[in-house]
Structure 1
Amino acid sequence: MTIPFDNEGASLDSGLVRLHELGYKQELKRELSVISNFALTFSIISVLTCISTLYNTGLNYGGPVSMVYGWLVVCIFTMLVALSMAEICSAYPTSGGLYFWSAKLAGPQWAPFASWITGWFNIIGQWAGTTSINFSLAQLLQVIILLSTGGKNGGGYVASKYVVIAIHGGILVIHGVINSLPISILSLLAHLGAIWNVVGVFVLIILIPSVATERASVKFVFTEFNSDNGAGINSKSYIFVLGLLMSQFTLAGYDASVHMTEETKRSDINGPKGIISSVGISIVVGFCYILGITFAVTDIPYLLSEDNDAGGYAIAQIFYMSFKKRYGSGFGGIMCLVIVAIAIFFCGMGSITSNSRMAYAFSRDGAMPLSSLWHQVNKEESLGSMVAFQATVSIAVISLYVAYALPIFFRVTLAAKHFQPGPFNLSRYGIIVGWVAVIWVVLISVLFSLPVSYPITIETLNYTPIALGCLIILIVSYWIISARHWFKGPLTNTEN
C-alpha cells in the first residue's frame, strides 16, 4: 500500500513510502541521516579494529606483500559486492535486508527457503563477528594490562584465559545496555566512533613511524614476503591466500547500513550511499594504516615471538617498542593501544546495534526462536587459542559474505529479467558486477576453509568447515523437519 502524503498533505519520506509498498508499517524511529547511517557502518568496519587484531595473521602469512597487495585485491572485489548490495538495497530498503531480498528475488516457489537460509547465514555471521570483535578487545585489554605492569619480560601481569573470558562477558553486557538507549544517542555514539576511527588512524600512521628509531625501507614494505610462518606451509601462493583473511575480515559488516534502513531518512537513496561510502572510505583509510604501521616493522620473527614484552601481540609490541627505544618508556605506546581499544569498543557497540535490528526483523517474520519476544520494540527507546580465534573470524567472514552473495545470486539468475531497480542502480552492468561478486564469495569461502598449518593435528585443525557444515546441517534439518510447514518468508504487517 503506497502512502505518498501525510495527513497535512506533505510529501512523505521516500524510504517510508517504499516500506509501505513492501508491506511493512513504520515501527522504528526514522531519525538517521545518511551521515549517521554511514558513521555506524564505518565504525563497524573499523580498520583500526580489524587490522590491529589480525596484524599477526598478515605478518605470519606473507608479511608486507600479503598485507599491501592482498588489501588491494580484496578491496576491488569487496567494492563489487558492495555495489551489488547497494543496488538491491535501493529497491528493498528494509531492516531485514538480505533475507527479505532473497525472498523477493528468488520468486514465490523458492522464497521461503531462500529467505530462511540467507537470514540464518546473516545471523550466524553477525554473532561470530561480534564475538570476534569483543573477544579481541578483551585480549587487547589484557595486553595493555600486561605492558602497564612491566611487560612479559618485566614481571607484568599475565591474565588467564578465564579472566579474558570474564572481561569479554563484561564488554557484551555493557554493549547490551548501551543498545537499549534511544536511537538519537546511538546515532551520536556512531558519529563519535566514526570520527575516532578516522582521527585515530591518522594519529597512529604519523606518530608511530615518527617515533620509531628504526624504520623499514620502501623496498621492505612493498617487496618483503615472509614465508617463515612456522606453520609448515612453503607455497608462496598458499601463504598469500591465507594472509587475505585480515583484509577480508576488515571489509565486512557493511550490511549494517541495510539493517538500519528503516531508521534512515530516504533509505532507498541513503542506504546505498551508506554502503558504498563506508566501504570506499575504509579502503583508503585502511591502506594508509597498513602502510604507516608496516614502516615501523623491522624484525617480523621478534614481533611474532611470544617472548617479547607484549607476548607476541605484534601491533602492541610495535607501539610499545617504538616509544621505549626512543624515550626509555613504553607509556606512549600503551596510550596508542588505548586508542585502538576505544575503536574496538565502538566497533563492537555498532555490531550489536546491527545484530539487534537483524534479529528484530527476522523475528518480525517468525523465523527466530522466541520470535514474539525478540521483535518487540520499546516505543520510547530503540531495540535494546589463536587457531580457534581465526576459525571464528573465518566463520564470521564466510557466513556474512554468503548472506551477501545469496540475494545477489538470485538477482542475477531467477530475478534477472524482472528485477525492478530503485533510485540507485548499476544499469546494464548490474548482471556482470553481480556475477563477479558471487564468484568472489565462492572463492573466499573455499580459501578460508583451508588448513592454516601442517601437519594437521587437533590443535592446528581449521575448524571453520566443520563448524559451518554442522550449522548448515542444523539449519537445513530444522527447515525440513519443521520450518517449511510454517515459515513463509517475510510477512507484511500493514493493512491492505
Structure 2
Amino acid sequence: IGPLEALNNSPLPLIYVLYGATGSKATTNVLVALIAVVIFCALFNIFASVSRLIWCFAKDKGLPFSEVFAYVHPTLKLPLNALILVGSIVTALSLIYIASATAFNALISLQALALHVSYIFPILFMLIRKIRGPAPRYGPFKLGIFGIPLNVLSLCYLLYVVTWMPFPTLLPVTKDNMNYAGPIFAAVIIGAIADWFVNGHKRFAIPITRYG
C-alpha cells in the first residue's frame, strides 16, 4: 500500500491504496467506479430507512417540531418533510469536507461509536427481563440456555469497544489526529437530554397500546 506516512497524508487514501496496488490509473478508476455504484445503490435504502425512522419517531412526538416531520404527503404517500430533513443534513455534512477533512472524518467516525452504544440498551434490557422475569415473548428463534451467557458476553464486548473507541489512535495528540467521535457523541447526548427536560417529557408518550 506504500509508505504509511504518505497514506496518512493522502486526501483520498482509498484511491492511493488502489493505485499503489494496481499501478494503473485505468484500473484504479474502474475499481473506484464499482465502489461508487455500490454506495449509490445503497444510498437509496439508507435514505429511505433513515427518513422512515425520523417519521416514526416524530409520529410519536419524540422529536422537536414533530408535527412537521410526521407529515405524509397525501399524493406521494411519502414522509416528505423527513426526506427533506435527511437530504439537507447529509448535504450540509458533506460540505464540511471542503473546509476540513479532519472535521468530516470526525463526524463519520461517530457512527461506529453510536452504533455500538445503540446495541447496548436492547441487550441490557432483554437481559434484565430474562433475569427478573417474566420472560419476554420470543419469536421463532430462541437461544435457549445460551441466551443469558451470550447477552452477558455481548455486553462485555460492547462496553470494551465503547470504552476504547473514542480514544485517539496516535500520540502525541494533535488537532489533526484527535478522535472527535467522543466529544461529538457527548454533545448529541447532552442535546437530547436537554430537549427531554425542556419539552420532550411533555410531548412524548410511549406507544404501548399500539406496540405492546
User: With structure 1 as the length reference, what TM-score do the two structures score?
Assistant: 0.35
Provide the C-alpha distance between the structure 2 equivalents of 1:463 and 1:366, rounded to a whole number of angstroms. 30
Change (3 A) 1:409 1:456: same
Match 2:45 to one of 312, 332, 350: 350
1:469 matched to 2:168: no
Aligned to 1:485: 202
Superposed CA deviations along residues 396-420 of structure 1, whole A, max 9, x for unmatched, are 1121221222111011014542211
Q: Given residue 316 of structure 1, which amino acid in structure 2 is its aligned partner?
A: I
Q: Find 1:392's aligned residue among 107, 110, 117.
A: 107
**Cα 1:414/1:493, change in 2 over 3 Å:** closer
Aligned residues: 189
CA distance in 2, matches of 1:430, 1:386: 43
Distance 1:414 1:323, change over 3 A: closer
Partner of 1:453: 170
Q: TM-score, normalised by structure 2?
A: 0.75
Question: Amino acid of the residue matched to residue 123 of structure 2?
Answer: I
Give the residue type in structure 2 aligned to 1:346.
C
What are the Cα deviations for residues 117-174 of structure 1, in whole angstroms up to 9, with x where unaligned? xxxxxxxxxxxxxxxxxxxxxxxxxxxxxxxxxxxxxxxxxxxxxxxxxxxxxxxxxx
Greater helix share, structure number? 2
In structure 1, what is the equivalent of residue 12 of structure 2? 313
2:117 equivalent in structure 1: 402
User: Take 1:381 and 1:476, find their aligned partners in 2: how far apart are those partners?
Assistant: 32
| 5+ long unaligned stretches in structure 1 | 1-296
Letter of the structure 2 residue corresponding to residue 430 of structure 1: G
From the superposition, tell whether residues 318 and 413 of structure 1 become closer, same or farther in structure 2 (CA, over 3 Å).
Answer: same
Residue number in structure 1 paired with 2:84: none
Identity of aligned residues (%): 22
Letter in 2 for 1:412: L
Flag the structure with more relative contact order, 1 or 2, with Cα contacts below 8 A and sequence separation at least 6. 1
Give deviations 1:188-228, integer Å, cap 9, x for gaps. xxxxxxxxxxxxxxxxxxxxxxxxxxxxxxxxxxxxxxxxx
Which position in structure 2 is the counterpart of 1:160? none
Give me the whole-angstrom Cα distance separating, in 1, the residues matched to 2:4 and 2:22. Answer: 20
- 5+ residue gaps in structure 2? 81-99
Contact 2:169 2:177 in 1 (8 A): yes
Encode CA deviations 1:226-257: one digit per residue, 9 max, x unaligned. xxxxxxxxxxxxxxxxxxxxxxxxxxxxxxxx
CA gap of 1:446–1:376, structure 2 versus 1, over 3 A, is: same
Structure 1 residues 173-252: aligned runs within 5 Å = none
Paired residues of 2:69 and 2:79 also in contact (CA < 8 A): no
Cα offset, 1:431, TM superposition: 1.6
- Distance of aligned partners of 1:383 and 1:412 in 2 relative to their CA distance in 1, 3 Å threshold: same
Query: Partner residue of 2:55?
Result: 360
